[in-house]
Amino acid sequence: MKNFLVKMAYNGAAYHGFQRQNNAVAVQQVVEEAIESLTGKRASINGCSRTDAGVHAREYYFSFETDSGINCRGLIFGLNDRLPDDIAILDCREAPLDFHARFCCRGKEYRYLVHNSEIKDPFYKDTVYRSWFPIDAQKLDRAAKAFVGEHDFKAFCSAECDKENTVRKIYRFDVRRSGDIVEFIVAGSGFLYNMVRIMVGTLLYINEGKIAENAIPALIEARDRTKAGITAPPQGLYLNKVFYDDKGFDLT
């Protein structure tokens, strides 16, 4: 028996998130069907994270066990030959049999992209969120630093979140502008359902003057979802990096 750790990337526009669904097509289903087609054996893959419908991943890991004789090179090229163009296998390596892509994960980095322009760009369709309201990236970068540290993020998760423990540790949160693109970069030990999108939506509310610039500590303390900002749309969100050790949490 082998346990493979596989790195992939995907454009999530056509999928109802990563996790297999009963009534919609998800990334997990498509990848598992490709593995079965390649190896002749059914496989259940363990993803490093759930992603929402329409959310993308530049770096996503999954692990799975198989008694197939295939090697990593065969998996990479065989799966890429069978997968649609919006999913790509980037790398593969053998892992210990007790390795699990989700439970061994130490942290993740997400990036949220906003096209800050009054004029739409057709090449950003389904991959970037557009906001015409002028964004003060420096102001939001200052405000975002209040998220850094270990906090109870009850106010920044969906009402559908099923986690009893809503304490998470954020290692960094930066907001940067490059031309018309404003990028929100957040890395942490873990994230709650819709947490990144709600944090970004809250910062956008701060930008528009709907929430005070210094309000984030009070919002965290209140633990009240109704006091935070909107849930930003999914198309701007990318799972950017996945950490299996402590290196990279302080990357700039």
Confidence tier at 251 by pLDDT (50, 70, 90): very low
Region label for 126, one of left (φ > 0), alpha (ψ between -120 and 50) or beta (otherwise): left
pLDDT digits (tens, 9 = 90+) for 158-170: 876 666 799 999 9
Instruction: Find, among 164, 153, 235, the residue nearest to 198 by Cα.
Output: 153
- The pair of three-digit structure tokens given for residue 117, joined into one six-digit string: 């322009």
Residue 200 has φ and ψ, to the nearest 5°, of -65, -45
Task: Classify 103 as helix, strand or coil.
Answer: coil
> Does the active-site annotation cover 224?
no
Q: How many CA atoms lie within 13 A of 14 on its CB side?
A: 10
Q: What is the pLDDT of residue 162?
A: 63
- Give yes or no for a contact between 199 and 168, defined as CB atoms under 8 angstroms apart: no
Rounded to whole angstroms, the Cα distance separating 82 from 74 reads 12
Domains of the chain: 2-95 (3.30.70.580), 107-243 (3.30.70.660)
Annotated catalytic residue: which of 52, 121, 245, 246?
52
How many C-beta atoms surround the C-beta of residue 165 within 10 A?
Answer: 8
pLDDT digits (tens, 9 = 90+) for 148-199: 999 999 999 987 666 679 999 999 999 999 999 999 999 999 999 999 999 9
